[in-house]
Amino acid sequence: MRLKLRTTGFGCNRGSTLSKNLPFTNSIVELRKAKKITQQELADAIGMTRQTIVAIEKGKYSPSLEAAFKIAMTLEAEITEVFVWNE
């Protein structure tokens, strides 16, 4: 039996979660401002919309794992510095 893998992109609602109570926080705003990168520049660098970046920064949208790594790499930070798990 062959399994077909589903691939996900960076668009809203594909492989990610919309939520108001995410189990993690992020420091994207602080890291982005320290690097003098606008939301639009970050979005362009990783292939997302500015609106998605806003939603991630506000904790209303959970990025895919791939998007989270791209955000961290673009901000030149460790993923655990960008996203902090809250238990």
Give me the domains of the chain, ranges plus CATH numbers.
19-85 (1.10.260.40)
Instruction: Classify burial at 74, counting beta carbons within 10 Å of its beta carbon; exposed 0-12, middle 13-18, buried 19 or more.
Output: buried
Q: Which residue has the higher pLDDT, 32 or 86?
A: 32
Q: Which residue has the higher pLDDT, 20 or 11?
A: 20
d(CA 62, CA 43): 15
d(CA 67, CA 62): 9
Helix (H) or strand (E) holding 65: helix 65-74
> What is the mean predicted confidence (pLDDT) over 2-18?
40
Q: Which residue has the higher pLDDT, 51 or 6?
A: 51
pTM of the model: 0.74
Q: State the pLDDT confidence band at 22, using cuts at 50, 70 and 90.
A: confident
Residues across the chain: 87
Q: State the pLDDT confidence band at 85, using cuts at 50, 70 and 90.
A: confident
